[in-house]
């Protein structure tokens, strides 16, 4: 089974996560203390099939930044741990995902080389009480710790909630494909270098 447990404690947050790359995402339990992030991670879990139990106690009285970033870090670390040797994975995936008027391209490479390249513009600074700039902060933290090359491009969009939702759903679908196992290459690392 491709599962992982992570617990990360700092002066600002206490994050605990268990995940299963081969779940279906239908019964994940997500309680981050940041309502909008709970919504986005629930969508991510369901669309990726990554089952998770995730909790965070953070200094949200300051703002949501520390919690969002530290959740991205911890989720990335758990994702990388659950991948194990990466033998047999498809490695690459991309998807252009529509969410009403929003259209977002997400492409991933489970390369072992961290990089996050985004071109996403939110019409509003906040969605409810959530700072929209934190979407990119989460993506950067996750990609850096998961060993992903991640590209996210907004091709169209007028509603900030729809754009964010397209980002998280698109990431979920791309990772679902990238971590899936290709039985033709089950005993191989998907790289001519022999290592990822």
pLDDT tens, position by position, 97-107: 999 999 999 99
Let me know if residue 192 belongs to a domain. Answer: no
Tokens of 192: 């001519």
Residue 12 confidence (pLDDT): 97
- CA–CA–CA angle 154, 157, 158 (5° rounding): 145
Average pLDDT, the chain: 96
The CATH code of the domain that includes 145 is 3.30.230.40
Tokens of 142: 């996750």
Let me know if residue 135 belongs to a domain. Answer: yes
Identify the CA nearest to 79 among candidates 137, 117, 134, 23.
Answer: 23
Let me know if residue 193 belongs to a domain. Answer: no
Kindly indicate the confidence band of residue 131, based on its pLDDT and cuts at 50, 70 and 90. Answer: very high
How many folded domains does the chain comprise?
Answer: 1
Residue 186 confidence (pLDDT): 80
**Parallel, antiparallel, or unpaired: how do β-strands 149-156 and 115-119 relate?**
parallel
Q: Residues 149, 115: contact at Cβ < 8 Å?
A: yes
- pTM, 2 dp: 0.95
Let me know if residue 194 belongs to a domain. Answer: no
Let me know if residue 132 belongs to a domain. Answer: yes
CA distance 165 to 152: 13
Domain of 70 in residue numbering reads as 3-185
Maximum Cα–Cα distance for the chain, whole Å? 51
Let me know if residue 51 belongs to a domain. Answer: yes
């Amino acid at each position: 089974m491709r599962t992982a447990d992570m617990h990360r404690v700092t002066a600002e947050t206490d994050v605990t996560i268990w995940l299963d790359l081969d779940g279906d995402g239908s019964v994940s339990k997500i309680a981050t203390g940041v309502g909008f992030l709970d919504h986005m991670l629930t969508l991510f879990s369901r669309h990726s099939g990554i089952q998770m139990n995730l909790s965070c106690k953070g200094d949200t009285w300051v703002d949501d930044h520390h919690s969002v970033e530290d959740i991205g870090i911890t989720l990335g670390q758990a994702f990388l741990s659950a991948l194990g040797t990466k033998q047999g994975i498809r490695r690459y995936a991309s998807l252009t995902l529509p969410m009403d008027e929003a259209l977002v391209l997400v492409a991933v490479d489970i390369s072992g080389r961290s990089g996050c390249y985004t071109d996403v513009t939110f019409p509003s600074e906040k969605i409810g009480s959530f700072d929209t700039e934190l979407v990119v902060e989460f993506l950067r933290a996750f990609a850096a710790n998961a060993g992903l090359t991640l590209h996210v491009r907004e091709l169209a969009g007028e509603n900030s909630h729809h754009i964010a939702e397209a980002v998280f759903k698109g990431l979920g679908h791309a990772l679902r494909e990238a971590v899936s196992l290709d039985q033709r290459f089950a005993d191989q690392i998907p790289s001519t270098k022999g290592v990822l």
